[in-house]
A and B are shown apart, each in its own frame.
Chain A
Amino acid sequence: MAEAQNIPVGSTTAGSIAVAAESTVATRMSAPPSFDVADFPVPHGREEEWRFTPLERLGGLHDGTAVATGTGIKVDIDAPEGVTVETVGRDDARLGKAGTPVDRVAAQAYSSFEQATVVTVPKETQLAEPIRIAVHGEGGTAFGHQVVELGAFAEAVVVIDHTGDAVLAANVDYVLGDGAKLTVVLVQDWDDKAVHIAQHNALVGRDASFKSVVVTFGGDVVRLHPRVSYAGTGGEAELFGLYFTDKGQHQEHRLLVDHNKPHCKSNAVYKGALQGDDAHAVWIGDVLIRAVAEGTDTYEMNRNLVLTDGARVDSVPNLEIETGEIAGAGHASATGRFDDEQLFYLMARGIPEAEARRLVVRGFFAELVQQIGLPDVEERLLAKIDAELEASVLEASA
């Protein structure tokens, strides 16, 4: 029988709601956003935006020593009819429209990529099949840039899969025209040694909706910046995420929703399970409601399930409100140990411990998956979670 002693030593679950005249989200960063890597000092690790990240494990992405290998990372794009896929040079006007790099690695990626991929869904086109982007690492180092652009009232699902072993820094832009609907499923299924640092910027058009499902299982270090801002009123963003952080892995998700237009909505729900020594999950949820953003409705939640001793979670939701005229704003963060009562109930019905643990963790994630609202994506994710749980030990903590 498991003992209830897997307390995540040293974890933080801190939250704040600041009603500020000046954004602390902005002042917390060591440099203002910029496309040029030279505008960012090399981080030493004590900066607010780097303090949780193991710099020594980034393969030199943060200090300029990482060099693109030219080969060793393959990108395959499978797009249904009606979609344009282009490879373009650095000077293409469509690049960098959805957001500006906010840290040195993102700026490094922007300063170093040689070719970018632009995927365009013309206006009013509704895709029956998803656009699939497969990024497979074979030990290479790369700087990437991708743009997914939807014309007005277009509807698409994009599935981006990361597998293999790589050192990758990238920026990805999602540009949604008025009334467009884009769902992005972003899967980090890397091998054990991979390093993946990326900034994903969504620019949500008037009355458009953006749904993002981030799934992080693999890699040595994964650090993602999913960011949303709005180009008009009435936009909606739903940000779902789930991660399973194993022994020694560092998985960091740093969300920012910038409510820079009135009457927009956002909802972020991230859930993570951790097991094993030095499993480290970081979740930062910054939501900024600017003075102009009247009628904003936002909620963010992060929940973590710590399965064994030695794992650590840092969860920091942060809501900044510059206007009083909002429809709703809230956040929640909770980090808990495995519930031994649930385990007992299942085992008292004859279910062996390892299987009972899998059921509980599966249930923990299923609750989130059920909210996605896209049956085929849900099914695929549950199958993925099952495979991940099948592969991981999930035995009782010592």
Chain B
Amino acid sequence: MATLEIRDLHVSVEADNATKEILKGVDLTVKQGETHAIMGPNGSGKSTLAYSLAGHPKYTITSGTVTLDGEDVLEMSVDERARAGVFLAMQYPVEIPGVSVSNFLRTSATAIRGEAPKLRTWVKEVKEAMERLNMDPAFAERNVNEGFSGGEKKRHEILQLELLKPKIAVLDETDSGLDVDALRIVSEGVNRVRESGEVGTLLITHYTRILRYIKPDHVHVFANGRIVESGGPELADKLENEGYEAYTTKGGVTA
């Protein structure tokens, strides 16, 4: 069973000629089949955690380890991590002018699966996955994320999740910018993947809204660059009622 282990992860960025520490010792274990919600206020470092796991070059790991089934993830290049089974659904997916969705999906499925999917079954697979996410088939011929609305970008991320079937899925604010219908459709997509039992999910969110559709096994509160409290689904209810104030004003917790 695949296990992602994050131990004492410290991450910094270079900004304005100074080094700024953003993650200040993150510990977390995510196993295949589990869903962990990471909740925290704006700027607490949630996306930084997501990007660091995926290997974004802007973020420097200053100490700590990340392993997937014992393999050192931090040693891997961005594409190797993806091929090892780490998937990041981005908060702000990137536009790629001139590259069609269909070309992009096929190229990435080929890379992840290690061989080009058979054209016939592939076309059907993509078409059905798009239908389930209520995506117009015309999307396949559009350029990646170009001119997509916020909701369309998120559906496109979940489409990739369904097609690439990772071991560990990091979903960074997949719920933000979605109306209720879109939220339901996207959540159903995530749940289909979860039901396979083969993915460990790290659901990063600011709001509890999405947790009505995607039930987490564990909830972690993220503040000032680390996990400050962990619990079961009931912790989300507490956040819903009380907000993050207790965690942000009590700065001492994270000092």
Interface set of A (CB-CB < 8 Å, partner B)? 1-4, 339-342, 344-353, 355-356, 359-360, 362-367, 370
Contact = CB atoms under 8 A, between A and B. Distances in A.
A89 B96 CA distance: 52
Contacts of B77: 1, 347, 353
A64 B79 CA distance: 55
B96 A346 contact: yes
Given A3-B57, A352-B111, A347 B82 contact: yes
Contacts of A3: 57
B112 A349 contact: yes
11 contacts: A341-B94, A342-B94, A342-B96, A344-B54, A348-B81, A348-B82, A348-B90, A359-B99, A360-B99, A367-B98, A367-B143
A362 B107 contact: no
Nearest to A341: B94
A351 B79 contact: yes
Given A1-B55, A340-B57, A347 B99 contact: no
Nearest to B94: A345
B57 A1 contact: yes
Given A352-B111, A363-B99, A347 B79 contact: yes
A110 B88 CA distance: 61
B108 A350 contact: yes
Given A344-B54, A351-B108, 16 more contacts: A339-B94, A344-B78, A345-B93, A348-B82, A349-B82, A349-B108, A349-B160, A350-B82, A350-B112, A351-B79, A351-B111, A352-B79, A353-B77, A362-B99, A363-B96, A364-B97
A351 B108 CA distance: 6
Nearest to B51: A344
A350 B57 CA distance: 15
B83 to A, nearest CB: 5
A35 B211 CA distance: 78
Nearest to A356: B79
B56 interface: yes
B39 interface: no
B94 to A, nearest CB: 4
B199 interface: no
Interface in B83-118: 83, 87-88, 90, 93-99, 103-104, 107-108, 111-112
Contacts of B107: 346, 351, 355, 359
A363 B98 contact: yes
B168 interface: no
Contacts of B79: 347-348, 350-353, 356
A348 B88 contact: yes
Contacts of B104: 346, 349, 359
**Most chain A CB atoms below 10 A, which of B95, B98, B111, B112:** B98
Contacts of A341: 94
Contact of B143 (A339, A350, A363): A363
B112 A345 contact: no
A340 B59 CA distance: 13
Contacts of B202: none
A88 B94 CA distance: 56
B78 to A, nearest CB: 4
Contacts of B99: 359-360, 362-363, 366
B219 interface: no
B164 interface: yes
A364 B98 contact: yes
Given A349-B160, A350-B111, A365 B98 contact: yes
B52 to A, nearest CB: 12
A370 B82 CA distance: 31
A1 B82 CA distance: 14
Interface in B136-191: 143-144, 160, 164
B165 to A, nearest CB: 12
Contacts of B93: 345
A367 B78 contact: no
A349 B143 CA distance: 16
A346 B96 CA distance: 9
A288 to B, nearest CB: 31
B44 to A, nearest CB: 22
Contacts of A351: 79, 82, 107-108, 111
Interface string B60-94: 00000000000000000111011100011010011
